[in-house]
Amino acid sequence: WISTAQVANKILLLARTTPVEECSGTEGLSLFYTDLDRSTVEVREIDKLGRKCVDSNQVFIDGLRIPVEDRVGEEGKGFSYILHGLNPERILIASEAVGLGRAALARAAGYANEREVFGRPIGQNQGIQHPLAQSWMELEAAHLMVQKAAWLYDQHAPCAAEANAAKYLAAEACYHACERAIFTHGGMGYAKEYHVERYLRESWIPRLAPVSPQLILCFIAEKVLGLPKSY
Ligand SMILES: Cc1cc2nc3c(=O)[nH]c(=O)nc-3n(C[C@H](O)[C@H](O)[C@H](O)COP(=O)(O)OP(=O)(O)OC[C@H]3O[C@@H](n4cnc5c(N)ncnc54)[C@H](O)[C@@H]3O)c2cc1C
């Protein structure tokens, strides 16, 4: 799942530089920013559900030699550098999910107002209104968690629990909003013309990546609730 490897000429690579049995914790991994040498790196594109504007790839590395000046920071400390990017990435993806969910909701409300069945707009029925109102609340609540996580990050305060919670809540709220947008459009929800089928496909990415919802639950259970590590 390496993004943009079809066009990249550089690669950010985390590689083991000390055998695992000689290290403790997450040490022994080093970070490199180096040329993507296609004579030693094979790139195979993955055909996928959505996100067509960015290529995703399997990458096979065999015999790539990296000069020491391409190492980022100290040898063996690479994982600690990668960690710096994980929380902001979750906050960013959570924001994206809130935005996508809101876009789906706006299309659903718009269609519910204009589509008339049996002489009145379908949006006049509570069966249509209530799920959309629920989605609005879910998205707003998720957005508050996104803001809290971003604020903590800006204060240089610990924010892993909030960043993970924001990613989880926003992705789930987004997915529900996209699903409800399709239901609101009825059969037309399945037509590409109304875009909501694409929104649903795109909503899978913030759900699955950069960390799955199940692993977020594992993290919260362990780090926030003090339960034994399960993975
Ligand atoms: C479009 C797209 C783009 C991506 N881009 C990048 C990228 O640019 N760079 C990059 O490094 N990665 C990228 N990824 C990878 C992504 O981060 C991973 O796919 C994701 O973190 C899930 O890991 P996995 O696929 O290895 O799932 P696995 O670890 O194989 O897990 C499979 C399933 O089992 C569940 N599971 C596993 N362990 C447990 C457990 N202990 N308890 C409960 N459930 C469990 C998981 O939650 C998941 O649902 C991308 C993925 C996608 C789909």
Task: Report which protein residue has its CA nearest ligand 1's atom 45.
Answer: 214
Tokens of 6: 């079809």
Of 161, 158, 172, the residue nearest 94 (C-alpha) = 172
Give, as one character, the DSSP assignment of residue 49: S
The pLDDT value recorded for residue 24 is 87
**How many CB atoms neighbour CB 48 within 10 A?**
14
60 lines ligand 1 (CB under 6 A): no
pLDDT at 121: 98
Tell me, in angstroms, the distance from the centre of ligand 1 to residue 154's CA.
27
Token pair in block for residue 88? 């902001």
Residue 83, pLDDT score: 87
118 Cβ below 6 A of ligand 1:
no
**Residue 220: predicted pLDDT:** 98
Q: In sequence order, which residues have a C-beta less than 8 Å from that of residue 87 and are 6 or more positions away?
A: 149, 153, 159, 160, 163
Write down the mean pLDDT value for the chain: 97
pLDDT at 45: 98
Pocket mutation for ligand 1, best pick of 57, 96, 215, 218 (most atoms within 8 Å of C-beta): 215
Residue keyed to tokens 């020491």: 68
**pLDDT beyond 90 at 39:** yes
Q: Whose CA is nearest to atom 44 of ligand 1?
A: 214
Asked if 87 and 160 touch (Cβ cutoff 8 Å), the reply is yes
Instruction: Note the pLDDT of residue 202.
Output: 98
Q: Is the CB of 49 under 6 A from ligand 1?
A: no
Q: Are 71 and 32 in contact (CB under 8 A)?
A: yes
Q: Residue 175 to residues 51, 85, 107, 212, 216: CA-CA distances in angstroms?
A: 15, 25, 14, 14, 16
* pLDDT of 25: 82
Q: Which helix (H) or strand (E) holds 141?
A: helix 126-154
Residue 31 has pLDDT above 90, yes or no: yes
Among 144, 50, 137, 150, CA closest to 90: 150
Q: Largest Cα–Cα distance in the chain?
A: 75
Q: Which strands form 71-72's sheet, in the order they lie side by side? A: 10-16, 29-35, 71-72
Which tokens belong to 144? 């508050």
Which pLDDT value is given to residue 20?
Answer: 93
Q: Which atom of ligand 1 is nearest to the CA of 231?
A: 41
Model ipTM?
A: 0.94
Whether residue 1 has its Cβ less than 6 Å from ligand 1: yes
Structure tokens at 108: 């659903």
Joined together, the tokens standing for residue 40 give 């030693």
pLDDT (tens digit per residue) in 54-113: 999 999 999 999 999 999 999 999 999 998 899 999 999 999 999 999 999 999 999 999
Tens digit of pLDDT for each residue in 114-160? 999 999 999 999 999 999 999 999 999 999 999 999 999 999 999 99
Q: Residue 54 is encoded by which pair of tokens?
A: 């960015």
- Determine the residue type at 218: C
Domains belonging to the chain, first-starting first, are: 2-76 (2.40.110.10), 83-223 (1.20.140.10)
Phi and psi at residue 160, in whole multiples of 5°?
A: -65, -45
Say yes or no: CB of residue 203 within 6 Å of ligand 1: no
